[in-house]
A and B are shown apart, each in its own frame.
Chain A
Amino acid sequence: MTVGSRLALIVWGCGMVLCGLVIADTRFSADMSAFLPRSPSPTQQILVDQLQTGVASRLVLIAVDGAPAATLAAVSKTLAAQLRRDDADFIAINNGDQAASGAAPERDLLWRYRYVLSPNVTPAHFTADGLHQALENDLGLLGSDMSSLVKQSLPGDPTGEILTLLGQLAQQKQPASRDGVWFSPDGKRALLVAQTRQPGFDIASEERALAMLDTAFAAAQKSVADADATRLRFSGPGVFAVHTKTEMKADISRLSLIATLLVSAILLFTYRSPRVLLLALVPVASGALAGIAAVSLGFGFVHGITLGFGVTLIGEAVDYAIYLFTQTAPGTSPDATLPRIWPMLQLGVLVSICGFSAMLFSSFTGFAQLGLFSITGLVVAVAVTRWVLPALLGRNFATARSAAFAPALMAVVAHARMLRLPMALALIGAVAVLALHRGGFWEDDLTALSPIPASDQKLDQTLRADIGAPDVRYIIVASAPDEQQALTASERLSTVLNGLEGRGVLAGYDAPTRYLPSAATQQARLDALPPPGELRARLGRALQNLPFQPDLFAPFLADVAAAKAQPLLDRAALHGTGLALKLDSLLVEQRGAWTALLSLRGVTDAARVAAAIAKAGITGATFVDLKAESNRLLEVYRHEALMLTLIGSLVIVALLVVSLRSPRRVALVVAPLAGAVILTTAILTLGDHKLSIFNLIGLLLTEAVGSNYCIFFERQDWSDANAERMVASLVLANSCTIIGFGILSFARLPVLHGIGMTVAIGAFLSLVLSAIVTSRGVARR
C-alpha cells in the first residue's frame, strides 16, 4: 500500500467517524411544511403559521359510528368524560353535551360582562325612552313562545343584552344533535371535537394524545352496553402529521430495503463476489453518511424526505464503483483504470452537481436539503471511488466475469443506429402528445401535492361538513404592533362589514372583538350606562303604563352598578371557556406583532368587500381570498420549479461547452438528454395527465443523472478494446439508477412518487437515446 493510499484511508476513516458523530446528534423532522416555501408574502406567512401552530392545528375531529344513535351518544359522553380527565394531552373536549362541556362558565361569563360585550350598549339605549322601548319589546317576548327563554334573564337584563350576545354566537352553525350530543346530520356518527395541548406539528405529543384517545375509546366501549361494534375515527392536522410520519417512515424504510436488496442482487449476480458487492456499497454508504451530516450541519435538521432520497443515491452513487470495477480489465490494476475513466467521471459528477445545485436555491427547505444531500453524497462517493476504493481493492483486483454479457450488449449497441428512425418517430409522437394535450399541463390542485392520502382527506371533509365547520374562503387580516390596536382595527372593520351585511354583500362574519372588545370600546359602553340613581329614575318613567310588577327589575339596577364597578374584560378572564378558543383563533400574537382575523360567511360579491375594506383605509388590514391565495402559492411553486429546471439545464449546457470545447460533442451529449426529457414529459402527460412540480424537479434530476451516460458514450473511443467493458458498466449502472428511482415511484408520498417515476423513466431513456445517437463509431468498427 502506498503512502497516498494509506493517507486516503485515514482521511476517509476519520471523515466517516465525524459524520457519524454529527448524525448521532441530528434532529430528524417529518414536518411536511418543509415542502412549503420558506419566504412567502407576509399574508401567506400568517396563513402558514396559523396552519402550523394556530388553534386550527390543534383540533382533532372525532367520529364514533357503527351502532344505534342511543349507544353512540352514550359512548360519546363516556369518551368525552375520559378525555376531559386527561389534562396533559387535551385542553378542551366538546361533544355538544352542554351539561358537561363547560357551556355554563361560558354563559356566566357572557352574563357577567354583557354590558361591555354587547354592541347595543349606547347612551340612547338607556334613556327613559330607550328603556321603555326595550320593556315593550320584553312584553312582546313574554307573550311569545320565547317567554320561557327570556323569563329567567328578564329581571336582570330588560334591555336584552344577553339575548343579543347569544344571538351573535348562534349565528355560527352548530352541528346537529341527538340525545344531547353532536351527531352527523344523518344520525350515523356521534361527533366530538378535541383540542390538543400542543400544536399539530408536535408529532410526539400528537402521537401520545392519539394513543390516549384510542385507550379512552376502548374503555368507553367496554363501559357502554352493546358498544362492541362501534368504531372510532378521527381527523385533523395533528392526525395528518402523525399519519404522514408513519407512512413516510414505512415508505422510506421499505423502499430503501427493497432498493438495496435489488441493487445488491444485481451486483452479486454480475460480480459473483460478496467482497466486490460490499466494496461497491462503500462509496454509496460514505456518500449517504456525508450527505446526512452536511444537511444536518447546514439546516440544523434533516427531513425524512431527504432520507428518502438516500434510496436514489444508492442507485446513482453505486455507478461510480461499477464504472471502476467493470472497466478494470483482468490482469490490470484499478490504478490503471482510473486515469482512463477519471475525466469522464469528473465531468459526470460536475454536471450532476450543477443540476442538483439549482435545487439549493429552492425556497422549499425540503428541496434545498435534497440538493445539498445529493451534492455532498455524490462528491464524497466519487472521491471515495477515486482514492479509497483502489486502496481497498489491492493491486491485483479484476472482475473477470464482469464483462460476460458485454459482447451481446455490444452487438445491441452496434445496431442501435438502426433505431434512429423509430427514435425520430417517437420524438415526433412525443411532441404531438404534448401539442395535443388538453386541459393544461400543470396540476392545479394543491391537494395533489399534499402528502395526505386521498382517503384521509375525504374523511376530513366528511367530518368537517358534519360538524358544520365553515369552509372559510374569505378572511380579513389586520396586523398591528399591539393587542389593543389589532382590536381597534377589528372594530373598525366590523363597522364596514356591518354595512356590507346590511346590503346583502355578505351573510355574516366572525371577529375577535365579538369576544374581546378593545379597552376603549368597553369603556365607552360602560360610560353609556347611567349612574345608579339616574338609572332608577329613568326606569321608573319607562315603566309607566306597562303591566310589569313593581320592583321586578331590582336585579337590573344592581347589575348595571356592578358592571360599572368591575374591571374591564381581558383575555385572562375568558380562560377556560369556549370563547377563549374562538378568540385564540381570531387574535394571534406572533413574533411580537398582533393579528386580528375576521372570517366572512356567504360573500356574494368579493370585489365589493375588497373595495370597501380598501376604501376604509384601515392600517394593516388586508382582504384575503384563501382560494386565490393558495392558487397563487401554487403558481409561485411552479414558477420556481420551472426556473430552477431551466437554470439548471443552462448551467449543465454551459459546463459541457466549457469542458468539451466542441459544438458537435456538446450536441452529442445534449441531444439525447433533450430527447429523453421530451419523451419523459410526453409519457408523464399521456392520457391528459398533469405535471406536478415534483415531476418538474424530476426532469431536472433526469438531466443531472442522465447526462453521465451521455458523457461516457460521447467520450468513448469505440475502437478501444475497453469499449465492451464500458458499455457493460453503463448498462449495469443505469439499471441500478433505474431501480433506485423506480422503487421510489412506488412511494405513497407524492413528492417521492413524482420524482422517482420521472427520473426512472428519464434515466433509462437517456441511456437508450445516447446509445442511438453516438453509436456511429461502433458501426464503423
Chain B
Amino acid sequence: MWEQVNDALRQSASRLLTGIASVLPGVVALVVAVLVAALLGWVIRLLLLRMLRGVRFDERLEHLGFSVLAEMSPSRSPALLLTRVVFWLVVLLGFLVGFAAIDPVRTGVLLGAVFGYLPNVVVAVLLLVVGALVARFLGRSVLIGAVNLQIESAKLLSIGVKWMVMVLATAMALTHLSIGGPVLTLAFGILFGGIVLAMSLAVGLGSKDMVRKGWERRERREEQAETPYQPL
C-alpha cells in the first residue's frame, strides 16, 4: 500500500510540475513583457512630458477653461496626469501581450470586446468635452448678461445653467456607454423635471399678483359690458 501511496504522490507531483513547466514560460514572458512595457512607458512618458511642457499645455488648457482638470491632476498639472495615463496604458498593453503568451484565445476575445467598446468611449469623451465648452460659454453669457441687467443672483443663475448643461451632457455620455440603462434615464428625467418645476414655481409665484390683477381687470370689463343701459 505504501508503494501505491508513493506512486500516487509521485504522479501528482509530476503532473503539477508538468503543469507549472508548461505555464512557466508564459509567466516569464508575461513578466518580461510587463517590464519592457514599463521601461518603454517611462521613456514615452518623459518625451511626452517634455513636449507638452514645450507647448505650454497646462496654460493653454487653463486658458480654454478646463481648470477643473488642473484641480484633479497631481501637482495641478494636466500634462503630468496625461503622461501618467499614457504610461499605464503602455504597461497595460505590455500585460496584454504577455497574457496572450499564456492564453491566446481568451486574450483575443478580451481584446475584441475592448476594441469594440472603444468608439463608444471616444464619443462619450467628445460629448463631455463639448458639453463642458457649451456649459462654460452659456454660463459666462448668463453671468455677464445678468450682471448688466442688475440681477443680484447672477452667479446663481450662471451656476444653474452650467450644471443643467453638464448634467445633460453627462447623461448623454453615460447612455452612450450603456451605463445605468433605464435607471439613469429615469434619474435624469426626475432631476431635470424637478429643476424645470422649481423654476416654473419661482416664476409663477413671483408673478401671481400680476396675473391676479389682470384677471380682475378683465372681470370688471365683462361686468360693465353685461350691465344693460338704463336711460334716465
* Chain B associates with chain A: no
